[in-house]
Amino acid sequence: MATTSSVLSSVLSFTLLMSGTSAVAWAAAQEEPSETSHKPAGIPRHDTQKSRHVSPNHAKSRHQDEADESLTVRGHAHPVNGGALGTKRVLDTPFSIRTVTAAEIQERQVKSLARVFSQDASVISNGDTYSFNAYSVTVRGVPLDDYNGYKINGTPFFMTTVELPLESFEAVQLLKGASGFMYGFNAPGGIIDFQTKKPTDARTFSFDAGYSSGAVGSQHIDTGGRLFRNDIVGYRLNLTHENGETYSGSHVTRFSGSLSTDVRLAPNLLWTADAIYQDRKVQGGVQDFFIDDPSAYGSNRLPDAISGHKNLTASPASMFTSHTLFVSTGLHWDITKNWTARIDYSHSMDYRRYRGEWMSLQDQAGNYNTYMSTNPGSWAQYDQVQAILEGKFRTGFIRHDFTMGAAWQGLSRYLPYDSDYVDIGGQNLYAPVISRSYSGSWNTATYRNYRSDQVGLFGSDTLTFDKHWSLLAGIRFTDFHQLTWKASAAKTALRTTPLTPTAALMFHPWKDITIYASYVQALENGGTVGDTYKNARETLPPIRSDQVEIGAKVARASWDLTGALYRITRGAQYANADNVYVSNGTVTYQGAELSGHVDLPFGITLTDSLGAEGGKYSKADATIKGNKIEGIPLFQNVFQLTDRIPGVPGLSATAEVHYTASMWGDSSNTYHVPSYTLLNLRASYRTSIGHHKVTLRAELDNATNLHYWGFLASDYFFVGTPRAVFLNARFDL
């Protein structure tokens, strides 16, 4: 506690120093003319910008109904807002960024992160909606870091096995490659930032009800507005309920609620607060298949895939329960027209318990053993304080967009003393499932397995030389302290103080085009070894990565295009011949991605995302050195055609084709996960009843009911999602 208090005091002292009168006076002296239009004298500044703090895109917040009912939603309209990068337009960043808005989430009836970025060809989903790993994605061949790779409003959230309620978010933003610079420790693939829905200026209320295969019903309320004199208090409330039998025979029950508020303490001072809570339980269901010993498996092919409709649950004791809480608060201060400061605090907790079935494939004929793995109760707690100062000023002909800040974050994780990993009997993929019993008992006592503290100081400056050229330079200092314990109370300590730089050159031939080259260095948590390895629960040392990226962005009214070439060098982690999971050697990833859309006559829109990538073990054990990295398809392509049906106002239809090439399934390059092509179809109809907007939506995923394998991790696979129907009706008051 003494260490934590000292760290907090240091961060708060730094914040006070940032926002002191000397800083304000210097800022005012260096201030460049505001880029906003001049306002008549005598009108308070905040009266003309009521939504400035309410949402990064205040026009969307003010007219939420119109935004949600817009058929074509462009993610580049959302700014990037986080960490050392500050607040910028997507076009002004030297990184590849993908934003999925609330409108698109609702249009596609997305319920899990596995489907949020399914239309980005550089992303691989590592689980389906009702498995432990529905939250997990791989970006550019690199799995996101559970410790630091997921954020809520830019603050950290420990994401292991947690599925956040997507109904509570205005947008979900994927920032590829910028992670180490923006937030300190992180995997180089990227960061996913969940951005909560903010209070609306106009009073809004919407209700929607949905149905999905096999018989899951859901209801959702979204309401917002402002209260009291001069609209001083804003609110946004979302409530969600989901219940029913899933397409794979499990049963899901979910309750979630979120509340976002703000109070205008002064014309230039805003207090904000957010809270999210969710209970989620899946009864039954299985997790993943794995190959324990590739040499004993005896084949270079996986068994033929089965339908995702098959209920593989062998034991009625199988279940997974999670409870999630996130709260945050902050002060946002407009010091002058060109200088802002903010300080934010966040706290999150997640608790989970499960009895889960994992299946060990024995041969290509589909024989497998079912293992019951139990977790009587594990939980984690994450806290962060962050203070940031942003401003604009000039030195001669150079314009500066400057960001500096400090942050502290602490993560504690608790694991159960006891857990089971028991073989409950054999099965075959193609035969009826034989019921199996499990009689293990619960012991809910836990111990602290992990604690990390990070103190970070960061700064960046974007120097604009003229209307064509700009340079981004940034640096972050991190004091990282990690403690790990075994159940026996044996403790291991690790401390490192890296200095991680970032540099990027940007060229803007026109105002809506950016060409860039960037370099980012980062460290990431080594993670904790799983229970199936000899060194189970050991925490590995941090991993260093370096990324070079060259790219271009074009954002026009009727079309846009984003492309990038990248190369990532990263420390390697893998299971060696003795079944010890080690951090040793180097892996190299490289690839290209291209995505864009074009609006054609007659209401037709074409959207395409393609990615080509690969990787190899550059330095590693002799058994895998030079091998290709598993879980990376050589090529992915997602193509969509959307048409506003002529002659029927409000009716639109979309066809989506998603191709994923084959990929290696293990680090030894013994067998492939086969390629697959999915066809998704959806339609929506917008109308009005008594001056109230009504939207009807229908979607058919995997329309051909293709049987396929999905990739989770080396030697781990899951049964692909089957044909599934999604229906939804929304009513706006």
**What's the pLDDT tens digit per position in 285-294?**
887 899 988 8
Residues 6+ apart with CB under 8 A from 355: 315, 317, 318, 319, 372, 373, 374, 438, 440
Is pLDDT at 274 greater than 50 in this prediction?
yes
Residue matched to tokens 């999150």: 348
Is pLDDT at 158 greater than 90 in this prediction?
no
Is pLDDT at 263 greater than 50 in this prediction?
yes
**pLDDT in the model for residue 163:** 82
pLDDT band per the 50, 70, 90 thresholds, residue 532: low
- Is the CB of residue 217 less than 8 Å from the CB of residue 244? yes
How much is the average pLDDT of 425-431? Answer: 96
**pLDDT in the model for residue 64:** 41
pLDDT band per the 50, 70, 90 thresholds, residue 601: very high
Query: Is the C-alpha dihedral spanning 80, 81, 82, 88 positive or negative?
Result: positive
How much is the average pLDDT of 277-298? Answer: 88
**pLDDT in the model for residue 115:** 87
Is pLDDT at 268 greater than 90 in this prediction?
yes
Is pLDDT at 61 greater than 90 in this prediction?
no
d(CA 343, CA 331): 6
Is pLDDT at 207 greater than 90 in this prediction?
yes
Is pLDDT at 298 greater than 80 in this prediction?
yes
How much is the average pLDDT of 397-409? Answer: 94
The DSSP code for 305 is P
Bond preceding residue 214 cis, omega within 30 of 0: yes
**pLDDT in the model for residue 250:** 92
Higher pLDDT, 36 or 155: 155
**pLDDT in the model for residue 529:** 76
Percent of the chain whose predicted confidence (pLDDT) is above 90: 58
How much is the average pLDDT of 88-104? Answer: 88
Its pTM stands at 0.87
What separation, in Å, do the N-terminal and C-terminal C-alpha atoms of the chain show?
50
Higher pLDDT, 59 or 478: 478
- Is the CB of residue 677 less than 8 Å from the CB of residue 706? yes
Is pLDDT at 239 greater than 70 in this prediction?
yes
